[in-house]
Structure 1
Amino acid sequence: MKKNKKKFETKFWAGFEVGNPFEASDALFDFAHLDYYKRNLTQAVLYSNKKEICSEDKPGEIFIFYKAISSFLKIYYSLQKKSRKWKVKESARAENVFHLTSLTKQEYDNPFIVFRKAFTEKTLKEFEFFLSEIVSLSLSPYKGELDIDLTTPYIHLIKMLDAGELMRERGLEKIQKIKGSKEKAEC
């Protein structure tokens, strides 16, 4: 029986479809730098409650950003499910260096924690809804009271972007099951 590959919808922004989450993650950060994603996410949230339109001269860029972040959510939702089989390699940097300031020390040491927390609090569909709402609102001249929570998903997404970049920088390795670990522990 052929196993169905997960679709991460990378064709629109990457130019090809990637079925492997590890390769899709690499493609995502090869497509654009972390700062691009964080800047556009912040800009979309800020413009979601303004009369001005975000990127009025190039609104297509917001759509590409939307597709890339939508893929990001699917990729890392899939990866966080694999967190029992994979771990992030140890950092070669000094322990007190945090270039990804949204992460706590514990999250810096194990970025999978960020995704577990985020997807425990909000579902993948809720994150996708948040993303579609901020993009839609940032591209329309609407100003008024919003009845959705923008802060919580925004903070989670910023942290997930930092954690995703950290995972890519340090790399992942398969967790080796140690045979006879009980026997070694008893000695």
Structure 2
Amino acid sequence: MEIDQILDYIYKLPENSRMILKDQMEELVYPKNHILLKADKIEHHIYLIKSGIVRAFAPQEDHDITFWFGQEGETILSMRSYVENKKSYENIELLEDCVLFQLNIERLNQLYQSDIHIANWGRKLAEIELLKIESRMISNDLLSAKERYDLLMAESPTLIQRVPLKYIASYLGITPVSLSRIRKEK
């Protein structure tokens, strides 16, 4: 996915503001299994996914808990670092080779002060991320595991081919055996 498509998905910028924002970005390539963000560290960048898929997880004693997947067109950020400049909670692992656009948070905050259109882009970015969190919380509290699986497949149908099933099971809050049963019912 090209950078202009990603930026427009968040908020359509006037051409001058778009060029200013794009000038601050660096395109990076990382291999599968790379840990992009580490918990307990302040993250100084946000990333936009050009290609590839990633997961956010928290390591536990006997297994990881996966709580988010990101793919083409989505944003990778630690909200805690982005908003409060504090250590993040999550780790971000690349599940495929990825091409990312990197943007420095401090520089982005400077742009928010000097360009109202970029500030509005940042506001929309935060709103989109908030809605993702709200949707995840509501589905975890109100939907059964099967309904959560169906919703995930409706929203991201190719995920099942791109992500190891153990991570999907963790994301759904179920065991791999339970996920296998749900998939067999289809």
Shared fold by TM > 0.5? no
Q: Which has the higher strand share?
A: 2
Structure number with the bigger relative contact order (C-alpha 8 A, sep ≥ 6) is: 1
* Rg larger in structure: 1
TM-score normalised over the length of structure 2: 0.29
